[in-house]
Amino acid sequence: MSFQIEISSVAKAEADAALLRIAQLTSVEQGQEWYSELIKVINSLSCKVYQESKGIASSLLQLN
């Protein structure tokens, strides 16, 4: 079973703020490159589901 990764509005706002800060400290190009790589990494995340086993009440999720 797989899940879709969703970015919260808070995380998006923090990433946008980081992008602006990086662009101010270095260059717009480096800021855009950083942001692009961040999105690639987020999109590459996968999630494994470990089903209930031996009395564990809920499934466990592990991001890889």
The verdict on residue 32 lying in a domain is yes
Determine contact, residues 16/60, Cβ cutoff 8 Å: no
The verdict on residue 4 lying in a domain is no
Number of Cβ within 10 Å of residue 3's Cβ equals 12
Domains: count for the chain: 1
The verdict on residue 26 lying in a domain is yes
Task: Name the residue range of residue 54's domain.
Answer: 9-63
Side-chain-side CA neighbours of 16 within 13 Å: the count stands at 7
The verdict on residue 2 lying in a domain is no
pLDDT digits (tens, 9 = 90+) for 5-64: 788 899 999 999 999 999 999 999 999 999 999 998 888 876 665 555 555 545 555 555
Nearest-angstrom CA–CA distance, 47 and 61: 7
- pLDDT on residue 31: 97
Residues in Cβ contact with 31 at an 8 Å cutoff, skipping those fewer than 6 apart: 19, 20, 22, 23
